[in-house]
Amino acid sequence: MRSRKSDPGAGKGDRKADRPTRTAYDKALGLLARREHSRRELAQKLERGGFARDESAAAVARLGDQGYQDDTRFAEALVRGRVGQGYGPARIRAELRSQGVGDATIRQLIEAADVDWEHLGAQQLRRRYGAPVADPAERARRAQFLLRRGFAAATVRVLTHADAEDPDDD
């Protein structure tokens, strides 16, 4: 004869009740295991998750002390990722500021990225639109695209006017 559980449905709904409650530290560590987070971002996620502000702050501070969370490392990863996605310096700077990274650190990281922004912008134009055009309305549309991606107005001007003046130049 087979042994059967007394009630096959018992325990399914009680699984959450059997688990120990997660601390803010555990939750934050789990978030950091997936990807880098800024201190501000971690604290916000913990507070939205129902943890008290004091507990969230203590967890984030502890993770920082242990080297699991580092705003500079987070910022470096963000810069690398956004450059790889074809974003310009203004967009990257704005995103870093929104994450609570200081202006001096931002300036240092963008300079250290050593990116040819003009070349990156030209790549984005080719990827999105293909061949250059002389139509002023289309050039304006392309300029807006580059500005939204965070490229400087001077870079955009060079790239969109280069399209009109020398379509064979790569």
Residue 92 Cα distances to 3, 41, 154, 167, angstroms: 62, 16, 17, 29
Answer whether 121's CB lies under 8 Å from 155's CB: yes
Q: Report the pLDDT value the prediction gives residue 3, as an integer from 0 to 100.
A: 46
* Residue among 126, 123, 117 nearest 93 (CA): 117
pLDDT of residue 167: 46
The predicted structure's pLDDT at residue 91: 97
* pLDDT recorded at residue 42: 95
Supply the pLDDT for residue 2.
47
pTM of this structure: 0.76
- Give the integer Cα–Cα distance in Å for 7 and 100: 53
Nearest to 87 by CA among 38, 131, 123: 123
How many CB atoms within 10 Å of residue 59?
22
Nearest to 71 by CA among 105, 112, 111: 105
Among candidate residues 122, 64, 79, 75, the one with its CA nearest the CA of residue 102: 75
Q: Which residue, chain included where needed, has tokens 């096959």? A: 8
* Per-residue pLDDT at 155 exceeds 50: yes
> pLDDT tens digits, residue range 86-121?
999 999 999 999 999 999 999 999 999 999 999 999
Which amino acid does the sequence have at 2? R
CA torsion sign for 138, 144, 146, 149 is negative
pLDDT at 157 exceeding the cut of 90: yes
Across residues 9-23, what is the average pLDDT? 62
Angle at 95 between CA 162 and CA 59, to 5 degrees: 160
